[in-house]
Structure 1
Amino acid sequence: MSIATVAAPSADPVDALIRSIRIPPRPSLLISMQEELDAPEPSQPALARIISSDVAMSASLLKLANSSMFGRRTIKSIDQALAFLGLNQVAALMTGLLARQAIAPSHASLASFWEVSSRRAQAMVFLSRRLHTGPADVAHTFGLFCDTGIPLMMERFPDYARTLDEAGASAGPFTRVEDARHTTNHAAIGCLLARNWGLPTEVSWSILHHHDYEVIEDRATPESVRSMVAASLLCERAIQDFQGLESAEWAKGGAIACAHFGLGETEADELQDELVEAFHED
């Protein structure tokens, strides 16, 4: 399903179904941040004031900024966070925190959802620097939002937990099972959320295609999207290893991802070990 298909107005029953899924509106704090960042000359003090207007969000941001993901610096204020990490990275962290606030999984089976999303974001930042896949803030945002369609699908479809089990055990594409059972999938819904929230286009496209591993080899697809989808497989493998599990998705697309980055088996294993070690540190 393409981005145009997700977003285009239609009387089609599939469109009506997608409209019935609750897509949280873009938070006003995010709108203010994006407007400042889109200014001809974004102001660090102005962005600091916007972020500091929400005390709880500011505290959560500082906790993240001092995590091992960013070298465990001693950052005591929003101004320091902006100076050390940069405007875009701080905005990406805030966007993730706002997503947690707006998308609150109520199902017990999703209790660890944001924990896994945080690890994926951490791993995407690590790989963006190690493999030179693009800006760390874009990679971080993709990592956090990659699976945001899951809690939204869970909220809409009472039997979606069963769908997740079946999709995870399927030898075919994960989203094919979702499409067969619900006429849409979490990648399409996550893409719609990302677009509605004004996230970078490469993030929206990468979310849409993150279970479509053939796109990694498609030279007509932007390199940034191909690299993020490939990196997401490396992240998935490490997360599953950290949890003591085998990655079914790695079996489907791991070889393609390694070929994209020119990684041999040993190099891929070493990256996985480094990521798992970083997860243990947190």
Structure 2
Amino acid sequence: MTHSSIASVANDQSVDALIKTIRIPPRPSMLIDVQAELASQEPDPKRLAATIANDVALAASLLKLTNSSFFGLRLKASSVEHAVNLLGMRQSGMLMTGIIARQTVKVDNMSLVKFWDFSAKRAQAMAHLASRMHICSPDLAHTFGLFCDIGIPILMERFEGYQTTLELASQQFEHKFTSIEQERHSTSHTSIGALMARTWGLPEDVSTAILVHHDYNVLNDSTTPETVRSLIALALVAEYSIHKYHGEETLAEWEKGGTQACDFLGLGNDELEDRFEELHDLFNRVH
């Protein structure tokens, strides 16, 4: 499956009349400003810090994350500029994208605490695995970990019965997760999530991986970009590790794609268990 064919799948799956009734949050101006600074010819940490500091709530969230046990920094950030210098511009931008997403994507009739906690854990786990296995950029892995299921709260807001759809799809050990969504709602969280990722200016590999991350056949498809396959495989390992951390040994998605993910990543049983142990230690430190 090539880039062009993947893009056409997104277009085929997204029925125009339906899409118009689904609210895709526009890219916030703060995110536009942060991305513009990072993409400039000479990115300046002082300018980036000044942009972030314009929003008191976002600035406070960045400081809180910077000083959390996840980063384990020897020094504590005393200001936004100090935080940007300690973390570096790329990681600061990555964290800001996640913070902004959490503040932007809200559903009135649903508590998103568990959704965002799971997304944060997955992002942290993927960044850790990517840095240890040198398979893709940890920043890219973290971004995908945060955004791969971003279509779920959007569809939750649009469809009253979507919670039931989620429960049905998560129990499917044979049929693809998204086929249940398509059958019940004529769209899927992957299509909507990929659309939002493009709207928000996220990297193309991230939006592509969001679109196909429940199609584990792509892990064996050499025409699919390697970074896309890496993100999908890492996400599956990360998600299964989270379930095991919470004492849940069975995960339908792992049964459908776990073997392909491990084969792609070159993980044998012993090394996989070692990775799970590392991630559980990480979760214990952070939470």
TM-score normalised according to structure 2 size: 0.92
Asked whether the 8 Å contact 2:14–2:187 carries over to 1, the reply is: no
Return the alpha-carbon distance in structure 2 between the equivalents of residues 85 and 133 of structure 1. Answer: 21
Q: CA deviation at 1:109?
A: 6.0
Aligned to 2:276: 272
8 A Cα contact 1:242 1:276, kept in partner: yes
Equivalent residue number for residue 217 of structure 1: 220
Tell me if 1:62 matches 2:66: no
Identify the residue that residue 43 of structure 1 maps to in structure 2: 44
Q: Distance in 2 between matches of 1:76 and 1:254?
A: 43
Cα pair distance change 1:105/1:72, threshold 3 Å: farther
Match of 2:252 among 215, 227, 248: 248
Q: Deviations over 1:76-108 (max 9, x none)?
A: 222232223221111110011110111013344
Q: Which string of whole-angstrom CA distances, capped at 9 and with x for unpartnered residues, describes residues 33-60 of structure 1? A: 1111121111111111001111111111
In the other structure, the counterpart of 1:137 is 139
Amino acid at match of 1:255: T
- The gaps in structure 1 that reach 5 residues or longer are none
SS in 2 for 1:69: coil
Confirm or deny that 1:117 pairs with 2:119.
Answer: yes
Instruction: Give the alignment of 1:131-280 within 5 angstroms.
Output: 131-171=133-173, 172-245=175-248, 246-280=250-284
Distance 1:36 1:110, change over 3 A: closer
Alpha carbons of 1:231 and 1:199: their partners in 2 closer, same or farther (altered >3 Å)? same
Whole-Å separation in 1 of the counterparts to 2:260 and 2:14? 35
C-alpha contact (below 8 Å) 1:3/1:191 kept by paired residues: no
Residue 5 of structure 1, CA deviation: 4.6
Q: Deviations over 1:220-244 (max 9, x none)?
A: 1111111000000001101111222
SS of residue paired to 2:247: coil
Counterpart Cα distance in 1 of 2:14 and 2:37: 39
State the distance in 2 between where 1:191 and 1:123 align.
Answer: 21
Of 232-241 and 132-141, more deviation after overlay is shown by 132-141
* 8 A Cα contact 2:50 2:81, kept in partner: no
Determine the structure 2 residue equivalent to 1:14. 15
Deviation at 1:180, TM superposition (A): 1.0
Measured in 2, the distance between the counterparts of 1:185 and 1:261 equals: 27
Superposed CA RMSD: 1.8
The CA distance in 2 between the partners of 1:128 and 1:161, in whole Å, is 32
SS, match of residue 22 in structure 1:
coil
Task: Using CA pairs under 8 Å that are at least 6 residues apart, name the structure with larger relative contact order, 1 or 2.
Answer: 2
Q: For 2:94 and 2:113, locate their aligned partners in 1 and report how far apart those are by CA, in whole Å.
A: 23
* Whole-angstrom distance in 2 between the partners of 1:5 and 1:251: 25
With over 3 angstroms needed to count, the CA separation of the structure-2 counterparts of 1:79 and 1:51, relative to structure 1, is same
**Between 142-151 and 62-71, the greater mean CA deviation after superposition:** 62-71
Aligned residue pairs total 279
How many Å separate the matches in 2 of 1:13 and 1:72?
A: 44
Q: Where does the alignment leave 5 or more consecutive residues of structure 2 unmatched?
A: none
Per-residue deviation, residues 105-151 of structure 1 (Å, max 9, x unmatched): 33446441101111011111101101112222111111111111000
Give TM-score scaled by structure 1 length.
Answer: 0.93
SS at match of 2:179: helix
Deviates more, 1:71-80 or 1:141-150: 71-80
Q: Identity of counterpart residues, as a percentage?
A: 49
Whole-Å Cα distance in 2 between the matches of residues 242 and 132 of structure 1? 24
SS in 2 for 1:124: helix
